[in-house]
Homo-oligomer: A and B are copies of this chain.
């Protein structure tokens, strides 16, 4: 059985995944500078982005889970790009350059579908306007027995949490306060079907692992 897994999804201490004002030159919005610094300090993340060096240890091990046994990916349209509403054209191909770090079929949930986008390195973006359940079905089929990564953002993860479809939710709490933006734990209730399996701090952040009871 393929699992649906969230990894390295980083929120501020006050619970925000993005600040207000997401745009081209501020993909995560305002007031969250440094949110992912912990990640880009690790060897695994640097390797994925073709950079040298980086730290070993707890944070690095968690970053590795982002790709381990993952065969397909789901993300929200707001994570794919800063545009909202209908596409003006199809020139935007994501934040990640010609060789995105997914290397599998990525299902982008949007009401504004467009043709599939084949990138280098095995990543193909599919634009799908469907229910969380139906998108997950397609992703599972594409994953070929491996798990499905639910990449983000907050609203997309919330949809899957409300549907009870997330198997593993690995969050990272960064020592920042945003004060405004999009909170991961809004509109999902107390998640009675989930338990906190682990909460552990590195020098930089706190890792939290929620899983279904």
> Once bound together, how far apart are the Cα atoms of A177 and B15, in whole Å?
12
**Interchain CB contact under 8 A, A175 and B208:** yes
By the criterion CB–CB under 8 Å, are B175 and A180 in contact? no
The reply to whether the CB of A194 lies closer than 8 angstroms to some CB of chain B is yes
Complex Cα spacing A38 to B31, Å: 32
Q: Give the bracket for the number of chain A residues in contact with chain B.
A: 20 to 34
Residue A200 at the chain B interface, CB threshold 8 Å: yes
- Minimal beta-carbon separation of A126 from chain B (angstroms): 32
Bound together, the chains give a CA A188 to CA B15 distance in angstroms of 13
Residue from the list B15, B175, B188, B206 in contact with A201, Cβ < 8 A: B206
Interface of A is mostly: loop
A14 to B16, CA, bound (A): 10
Are A178 and B206 closer than 8 Å at their CB atoms?
no
- Residues A28-43 near B (CB distance < 8 A): 31
| Cβ contact of A206, chosen from B185, B189, B206, cutoff 8 A | B206
- Which of B31, B191, B206 is A190 in contact with, Cβ under 8 Å? B31
Residues of chain A touching chain B, judged by Cβ–Cβ distance below 8 Å, are: 13-15, 31, 173, 175-180, 185, 188-191, 194, 196, 199-201, 205-206, 208, 210
Can you report 13 residue pairs joining A to B where beta carbons are below 8 Å apart? A14-B15, A14-B190, A15-B15, A175-B196, A176-B196, A177-B191, A177-B194, A177-B196, A177-B210, A179-B189, A199-B205, A200-B201, A206-B206
